[in-house]
Structure 1
């Protein structure tokens, strides 16, 4: 895929991995970037001047991925404003921080909420954007997690949702072929606001320090590293249904 001149839509586009991906796409020459958000309006709006500096037209659009009407409105807005959509990055995600052993601490409602955003939300977006992506010969990249491969992470619900997202990636790759490629990036620990929100500033700093002492590449991933993988998959024209783990090699020693 030629990123120069492309139009991309990123859910959860105002912060963390979404923001880094938006900037990386603009730097690579994307003509338009739509940063969709559900809660982080100010963050998404603050991204627009940076995109403009890099030569891309940016839009910050509200879109709750649990609301099919809102997702379809987002797809309609993107196509109306830019005339096309080439790239969809399903980055919106939530979790519930509950220790795995605390089964009673994870309610049915928690499970449903996490699945609704992380899995069904990605499906809603793929469904709504499929016509535009088919027309442009576009691509989807889903942001999964290492938690989709192994036990662990912030909660059972989160890990199950990311495992399901990896399977959704494979199913969509088959369903949307040959016009649209669908892949995923599965980050390990990433130094973002998400992690400091879960562990606190000091707690995350200590976790990251311990991790850097053990992972093969001696580094904690940044949002920019995940964005790099997203762009790599977008450029791989004969790759679909695959997932790339971004964790400094930690998974090979689990």
Structure 2
């Protein structure tokens, strides 16, 4: 059987936070596979437009949409626009997220504003996107959602305590949504360990300290995580799983 050169041809994918870091790597990879990519961004307009330019220069299709995923109404309207523009939505990659670098043991440094900010984006924002996209995903055969969690959501230890808790909630939501949207839509999660992105610029020592001993003796790249996202989007027998991508950190 002849292998398709563009296995995602005629598919449409939404990638939140799709202009930088892991999101940029995912957007670029999916476009190279033939998908039309809707890149959602909140503040990184120039990065999102640069990613679109990179994709189009390579012959792919991508459009950037500004959307604060913490705003449920904005998310719904933007996803409706994607559906109207491209005629379909096959995949949703929930990559957008924020953190707050804090001394992990300093509970007094954590206030309600920090909790609200992280949960509004990381947890509620992820749900807003799933909720709004679900009716359109159900229209397509083989549709899927991949959430980007964090190894902090498994170990309870990360850039800050609220961040770790918020990502643990994303992992739990993945399992719940996998049940709620079955059999029409598969829902999985990638939980990266340390990844070389701008999140850790200026905090590299903290990143290495959090990671501890890594049997594979490497820090992941955004492209490493993008490869796993693509795999889960196409894995028709897999749902409700949290795939750790942490170079052996939790062995």
Q: Which residue of 2 aligns with 1:35?
A: 39
**Alpha-carbon distance in 2 for matches of 1:159, 1:209:** 17
**Alpha-carbon distance in 2 for matches of 1:89, 1:111:** 23
The reply on whether 1:84 has 2:88 as its aligned counterpart is yes
Q: Which residue of 1 aligns with 2:146?
A: 141
Q: Which residue of 2 aligns with 1:187?
A: 192
> 1:104 deviation in Å?
1.0
The reply on whether 1:63 has 2:62 as its aligned counterpart is no
**Alpha-carbon distance in 2 for matches of 1:169, 1:211:** 24
**Gapped runs of 5+ residues in structure 2?**
1-6
1:13 to 4, 18, 42: 18
**Alpha-carbon distance in 1 for matches of 2:164, 2:93:** 20
- Deviations for 1:75-123, whole angstroms, at most 9, x for unmatched residues? 1111011000101001110111122211110101111110111011010
> 1:230 deviation in Å?
0.2
2:99 to 95, 109, 121: 95
**Paired residues of 2:200 and 2:207 also in contact (CA < 8 A):** no
Q: Which residue of 1 aligns with 2:168?
A: 163
**Alpha-carbon distance in 2 for matches of 1:45, 1:212:** 32
**Alpha-carbon distance in 2 for matches of 1:82, 1:19:** 20
SS of the counterpart of 1:229? helix
CA RMSD of aligned residues (A): 1.7
Higher relative helix content: 1
Residues 211 and 12 from structure 1, CA distance in 2 versus in 1: closer, same or farther, beyond 3 angstroms? same
**Alpha-carbon distance in 2 for matches of 1:99, 1:112:** 18
**Alpha-carbon distance in 1 for matches of 2:73, 2:240:** 27
**Paired residues of 2:14 and 2:92 also in contact (CA < 8 A):** yes
SS of the counterpart of 1:58? strand
Q: Which residue of 2 aligns with 1:224?
A: 223
> 1:152 deviation in Å?
1.5
Residues 211 and 129 from structure 1, CA distance in 2 versus in 1: closer, same or farther, beyond 3 angstroms? closer
**Gapped runs of 5+ residues in structure 1?**
none
Q: Which residue of 2 aligns with 1:126?
A: 130
**Alpha-carbon distance in 2 for matches of 1:237, 1:91:** 21
Aligned residues: 244
**Alpha-carbon distance in 2 for matches of 1:5, 1:218:** 39
Q: Which residue of 1 aligns with 2:3?
A: none
Query: TM-score if structure 2 supplies the norm length?
Result: 0.93
Query: TM-score if structure 1 supplies the norm length?
Result: 0.92
**Paired residues of 1:118 and 1:165 also in contact (CA < 8 A):** yes
